[in-house]
Structure 1
Amino acid sequence: MSAIKVLLVDDEAPARNRLRELLQDIAAVTVVGDAKNGKEAVNLAMEHKPDIVLLDIRMPHMDGIEAAGHLQKLTPSPAIIFTTAYDTYAVRAFDMNAVDYLLKPIRLERLRTAIEKAGRLRPEQLTGLQPLQAQRTHFSVLERGRVLLVPVDDIIFFRAELKYVTIRTREREYLIEDSLNSIEEEFGTRFLRLHRNCLVAQGSIMGYEKRHAQEGESHYVALLRDVPDTVAVSRRQQHLLKGLAKG
């Protein structure tokens, strides 16, 4: 039997050390790395391909629930065991979606049971996970067998094209399968729907101008910071830009 590869994720070093010590007493388990936040966890998981991730829920920068959603896109995806000091809403909300959850302080026999359970399950336990916080901090992009994390703060606009949505940052474009409607619902007015196929970061809008087509018709476009792209503005949404200009 090959060793079960485990990745430890917790923002507190004593908690990671405690898990490492406990796992030494469980046969056929190898710790392949540890991370202090969700973003580090995704990067290490791509590198080490763990069978199981012991994942704290409450962490800065990217919480465990969001990280679990990104980990789901890996092939194969690891089993998730949440670790938490909270036995209230977080546990009740997520215990049906993860392989298991462990309440801190974690006991050896409880950890052993969770590891054994994880070995019998996978990889569908992540289905239906929703972020613990209201909005994601990153979008995960599957590209050439790797998961890339794109910070929401870097996104200038989303544009729907056929069955995909293009993310535009200052550096490049990415393709995702989220719908514009779901993104708009998640982020509210942080991204403005200037056209039926485009959501633009409010902070990236520099201004707007009126352009004339050869046929004589005119339309407005939004001018954006840091990129040469412009975004067409539908007639019914022109009031949004004019409102920003007045503000």
Structure 2
Amino acid sequence: MRIVVCDDEPLARERLVRIVQESGHQVVAQATTGAEAIVAVKTQQPDIILLDIRMPEMDGVRCAQELAKLEHPPAIIFVTAYDHYAIAALKANAIGYLLKPANKDELLEALAKAKNLNAAQLNEIRKLEDPMARPVREHIAARTHRGVELIKLKDIYYFTADQKYVKVRHKDGIVLIDETLKELEQEFEDRLFRVHRNAIINLSFLDFLETLDAGQYQIRFKGIDETLAVSRRHLPALREKIQSM
């Protein structure tokens, strides 16, 4: 893949260049500011840009927002020393977020993920249009120890409120996201369904509604043994939904 490396710290930039080249990819340009990165992307048309955040003149988040306006923007992977920019990175449509000094294996994993994203997915991630005009997402972004991961909505069993975060149970495990159940329910109203004030489920994995003692009910899922309680308040609507499926 063709890659641009942008970092104002020479040693950090050289380390990224070395890892990229040793892994068989091509570094087509290097930049020290966001403005230089934009020029490099326009002239070199890279597949990916490795982008620092804290830089003079134009920071990485602003640079990413400008790059997203291009007709053919590169996939963006942030590599930064600061962990509190993750949400800003997500809003800037980054597909990866790594902390310095970037672990070689994590960087190569992020590059592989970028390569495997098809054109339709990348186009969806990069859009910075009015949120009301955006197409429905097919992925949920979660910040983990490996950076920012994209979880396919079709692989998610359910979402539950977990203090100030939302827990996402998917085919490969559990992650936490900084979104609300209400926002998710509204955005994916045709695919997710609320069964409790603290839980919404992916209807694709709904197996059946099970009756317990004392008039209690719970959901059973296809593919996993876990269950979720159904509140009395949401029971009638869920029964109606099941009958219409």
TM-score by length of 1: 0.53
Aligned pairs for 1:151-230 within 5 A: 151-212=152-213, 217-230=214-227
Identity %: 23
2:95–2:149 Cα contact (<8 Å) kept: no
Paired AA for residue 223 in structure 1: R
One-letter code of the match for 1:211? L
Deviating more after overlay: 50-59 vs 235-244? 50-59
Deviation of 1:58 (Å): 7.5
1:71 is the counterpart of 2:94: yes
CA positional deviation for 1:27: 7.3
Q: How far apart, in 1, do the equivalents of 2:51 and 2:36 lie?
A: 19
- Higher Cα radius of gyration: 1
Mapped partners of 1:240, 1:170: distance in 2? 27
**2:46 aligned partner, one-letter code:** D
The 8 Å contact of residues 141 and 174 in structure 1, kept in 2 or not, is answered as: yes
State the secondary structure of the residue aligned to 1:34. Answer: coil
- The residue that corresponds to 1:233 in the other structure is 230
Task: Provide the alpha-carbon RMSD of the alignment.
Answer: 3.9
Size of the aligned set, in residue pairs, is 160
> Does the CA contact (< 8 Å) of 1:4 and 1:30 recur in 2?
no
Within 5 Å, which residues of 2 pair with 1:17-166?
A: 30=40, 34-35=46-47, 44=48, 48-49=50-51, 51=60, 52-53=63-64, 54-55=67-68, 69-71=92-94, 74=97, 94=129, 130=131, 132-144=133-145, 146-166=147-167
Q: Look up the equivalent residue of 2:225 and give its one-letter code.
A: P
CA distance in 2, matches of 1:34, 1:166: 35
Q: Evaluate the alpha carbon distance shift between residue 69 and residue 136 of structure 1 in structure 2; reply closer, same or farther with a 3 A threshold.
A: farther
Structure 2's unaligned 5+ residue stretches are 8-27, 53-59, 76-88, 100-127
What is the CA–CA distance in structure 2 between the aligned matches of 1:237 and 1:73, rounded to whole Å? 37
C-alpha distance in structure 2 between counterparts of 1:27 and 1:244, whole Å: 54
**Cα distance change on mapping 1:171 and 1:4 into 2, 3 Å:** closer
- 1:30 & 1:58 partners in 2: Cα distance? 15
Unaligned 5+ runs, structure 1: 7-19, 36-43, 77-92, 95-128
Q: Residue 227 and residue 56 in structure 1: after superposition, are their counterparts in 2 closer, same or farther (change >3 A)? A: farther
Q: In the TM superposition, what whole-angstrom CA distance separates every residue of 1:140-195 from its partner, at most 9, and x where no partner exists?
A: 11112611111111111100011110001122011011011111111113110000
Instruction: Look up the SS of the partner of 1:236 in the other structure.
Output: coil
SS class of match (1:231) = strand
CA 225–33 in structure 1, closer or farther in 2 if over 3 Å, else same: farther
CA deviation after TM superposition for structure 1 residue 30, in Å: 4.7
In terms of fraction of residues, the more helix-rich structure is 2
